[in-house]
Amino acid sequence: MISVEQHLDRILSTVKVIRPFEQGVLDAQGCVLAEDVTARGSLPGFTNSAMDGYAVHAADVASAAPDSPVVLPVVTDIAAGNTRPLSLAPGQTMRIMTGAPMPRGADAVVPVEATDGGIARVSITARSVVGQHVREEGEDVEAGRVVLRRGTLLGPGQIALLAAAGVARLRVVPRPRVVVLSTGDELVEVGRTPGFGQIVDSNSVMLSAAVTAVGATPYVVGGVPDDARVLMDTLEGQLVRADAVITTGGVSMGAFDTVKEVLSRVGTMQFDKVAMRPGMPQGFGVLGDEAVPVFTLPGNPVSALVSFHVFVAPALRQLAGRPEPAWPPGYLTAVATETFRSVPGKMEFLRVILDEDRARLAGGQGSHMLAALAAADALAVIPPEVTEVRPGEQVECLPLLGREAP
Ligand code: AMP
Ligand code: MG
């Protein structure tokens, strides 16, 4: 028997960051930048108005006040998108919209709220100073400057900056492509009605959802029978498009546990008993010319999902070049509202419902029990040496994917 930490260490010391790839900004969400990126142009690209109002020479309105307005002729309108260069003579004004280029000579914008909104002539009732409500060319970003560093995780804000700075394509670590394969003669595809002795292959859709939730791309193969030849052929066919493979089922002590039987002989696959509950039988190794990491998870749905959270999610984040928070996952601490029992010598992952900072059991803790899994918000992590958590004591919880507090 090995510890959870030992198994995770072996996985994380094996998994390498995926080779970077050039991608369009539109596809870069959630990816990690693989190069420093410099701005192609300045931001703003031209000096423009920060308000709807009137472009002026500030000196012309230096004395404007509610009881002594300054009246100026309005020579033209400048809308956002105006591409015609304009010049403003002293003693005149132009009506200007937010984002429209400032006319040459103008050095301030009087907001429309400080005027009578005139069209041919405008009465201005507040003074202005040079630069007021003007966005200077390059004040946000200077052309040629590094705007984002290699290693940055790209979200909507970073993507906006790249797009605005003229970067349409960039090198990122691609989203991991993850093949999800279930094994078992008893499985029928989702949407089919299982016959007697059969069950719906819920692991495929569960793990596909989990893969998506960590920002990777799932490829669902579906269920394959407990047949060595079929399993091997299917795996070989799938390896070419995979950055990782997840299988479920067939790794325990049963007579038809084909995954373990077949894969024990190939690649660097190693099958271990891990001191955890649920999820004790685990297999991991790399297969094929490209050394694709393969995770063979137990078949019971709760075991498979716990294994995903504990072993696969950190590995997928590492493949994607993301920094990984340290184990144990001190993500959130809750207070037990009832007694949690745990077997000695194993790390126990209990399905719990969180109510603010209080945790209670979500229901039946059997590794086949989907109702409690679906009710749960988190996994309470009970260390191997702890056999009982009493009401009022603190417990560390690993939030379940997709159930984090918004
Ligand atoms: P195994 O690990 O193959 O011995 O399977 C353990 C338990 O998990 C059995 O009750 C299986 O029927 C169930 N199981 C295996 N694969 C799946 C799957 N893809 N979806 C739902 N349950 C499964
Ligand atoms: Mg099976």
Contacts of 49 by beta carbon, 8 Å cutoff, 6+ apart: 55, 78, 96, 97, 98, 99, 100, 102, 109, 133, 134, 135
* CATH node for 21-43+139-173: 3.90.105.10
- The pLDDT tens digits of the residues spanning 257-314 come to 999 999 998 889 999 999 999 999 999 999 999 999 999 999 999 999 999 999 999 9
Where in the chain is CATH 2.170.190.11?
Answer: 48-135
**Residue 257 CA: which ligand 1 atom is closest?**
3
- Residue 283 near ligand 1, beta carbon < 6 Å: no
Position 323 scores a pLDDT of: 75
H/E segment holding residue 287: strand 281-287
Q: Is the CB of 279 under 6 A from ligand 1?
A: no
* pTM listed for this prediction: 0.92
Instruction: Determine which residue's CA is closest to atom 8 belonging to ligand 1.
Output: 300
Residues of the chain with CATH 3.90.105.10: 21-43+139-173
Q: State pLDDT tens for residues 349-379.
A: 999 999 999 999 999 999 999 999 999 999 9
Residue type, 178: V
Closest C-alpha to ligand 1, atom 5: 299
In the chain, where does the domain assigned CATH 2.40.340.10 lie?
Answer: 332-399
What is the CATH architecture of 332-399? Answer: Beta Barrel (2.40)
Place of tokens 């000579």: 105
Look at residue 406 in the predicted model and tell me its pLDDT.
45
Q: Which residue has the least CA distance to atom 17 on ligand 1?
A: 299
CATH class of segment(s) 4-18+176-319: alpha beta
pLDDT tens by residue, 313-337: 999 999 999 976 666 565 799 999 9
Going from the C-alpha of 276 to that of each of 13, 96, 282, 383, the distances in angstroms are 20, 67, 10, 9
Give the model's pLDDT for residue 45. 97
For residue 65, the 8-state DSSP code is B
Distances 172 to 41, 176, 184, 386 between C-alpha atoms, Å: 21, 12, 37, 43
What's residue 405's pLDDT? 55
CA of 184 to the centre of ligand 2 (A): 4
d(CA 242, ligand 1 centre) in Å: 23
- Quote the radius of gyration of the chain (alpha carbons, Å): 31
CATH superfamily of 48-135: Molybdopterin biosynthesis moea protein, domain 3. (2.170.190.11)
Which ligand has the shortest distance to the CA of 185? Answer: 2
> CATH 3.40.980.10 in the chain, residues?
4-18+176-319
